[in-house]
Structure formats: structure tokens, C-alpha cells
């Protein structure tokens, strides 16, 4: 797979079948917050697409190959005293892992974040068990800013919370 063949675009209700097909996978869901349900149903998908397409500018995107949504990536601008920050979130369908897609999608989404929002920092919070996500963030110049031991609970297991971030001043380096 040539990673240059993917694009990032707004979600559409016509993505529902591919969203449910790829999101309904425990290997994806186990690395996500509980807001990403498992099993992942058509109703979950419809609710998500409605949520993802309601704000302007659109900031939650489908990762698309040949017209099929194979994952999602987005920026969540923070508010109040955290308004100089935005959280990066992403997932990719398991058949597309290890092909460089998510790394390039992160680069494009960080570019979008810093050019669209008046923010100084983009952060991501992978689980301590998600080594692949940690590596892809590091590859994109994110720095590990903090680690909190056994503060998350997922599927009855206590997990470490990691906080990775990239600052505007380090963005283009």
C-alpha cells in the first residue's frame, strides 16, 4: 500500500458501513477511551458522524483510501484555562496498520491544528500499553511530557496514562 494514496476528509453519512466494519474491532477499541464502544454498532456510527460533522471548522476527519473510510483522526480544541491546547485523537483499521498511514495523517492533522487554531500545543494521551502509538507520536516530534502510573481503567485493568505533546515552536523542525 502506498501511503500517499490516503487522504483526510470530513466524515459523511455514507461512511457508515466502512466505519462500523473497521471500528467494530477489539484490537482497535482496546486502545481507545470507553466513548469508543465495543461492539461498535450502526447506531454508534451514525451518532459519531453526526457529532463529527456539526462544528465549523470541521476538525474530526475520516482517513480515506479509494473512497472508503479506514480510520479517523481529529483535533479537539480545549477551552477555558486550557484554550492554548488541542488534543489529537486517532484510530486506524487493523488491516492498514504498519504502513505509515497514521504517521503521515498525524503530520497533516498537526499542520491543520496549528494553521487553523490559535494554540501553542497539541497533545495526545496514549495508554502505556500502546507502544505503536507512542512510537508514531515520537516519530512526529511529540515529546513525552508526563506519565501517570495506573490511573486509567480499561476492561478492568489499570493502565498508565502518557501525555505526549508538540509545541508550536517545534512544529516545523
Instruction: Write the CATH number for 98.
Output: 3.40.630.30
Cell representation of residue 163? 501525555
Strand 121-124 to 157-167 pairing: antiparallel
pTM, two decimal places:
0.94
Give the span between the Cα atoms of 31 and 25, in whole angstroms: 11
**Structural domain boundaries enclosing 65:** 3-170
Q: How many domains does the chain have?
A: 1
- pLDDT per position as a tens digit, 94-129: 999 999 999 999 999 999 999 999 999 999 999 999
pLDDT at residue 60, as a whole number: 98
Amino acid at each position: 500500500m502506498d501511503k500517499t494514496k490516503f487522504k483526510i476528509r470530513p466524515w459523511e453519512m455514507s461512511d457508515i458501513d466502512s466505519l462500523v466494519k473497521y471500528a467494530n474491532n477489539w484490537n482497535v477499541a482496546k486502545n481507545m477511551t470507553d466513548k469508543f464502544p465495543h461492539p461498535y454498532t450502526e447506531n454508534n456510527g451514525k451518532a459519531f458522524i453526526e457529532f463529527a460533522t456539526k462544528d465549523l471548522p470541521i476538525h474530526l476527519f475520516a482517513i480515506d483510501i479509494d473512497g472508503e473510510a479506514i480510520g479517523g483522526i481529529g483535533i479537539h480544541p480545549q477551552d477555558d484555562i486550557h484554550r492554548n491546547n488541542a488534543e489529537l485523537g486517532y484510530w486506524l483499521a487493523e488491516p492498514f496498520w504498519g504502513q505509515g498511514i497514521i504517521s503521515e495523517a498525524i503530520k497533516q492533522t498537526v499542520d491543520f491544528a496549528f494553521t487553523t487554531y490559535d494554540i501553542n500545543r497539541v497533545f495526545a494521551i496514549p495508554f502505556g500499553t500502546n507502544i505503536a502509538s507512542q512510537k508514531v507520536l515520537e516519530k512526529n516530534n511529540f515529546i513525552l511530557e508526563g506519565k501517570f502510573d495506573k490511573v486509567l481503567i480499561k476492561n478492568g485493568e489499570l493502565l498508565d496514562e502518557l501525555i505526549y505533546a508538540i509545541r508550536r515552536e517545534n512544529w516545523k523542525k
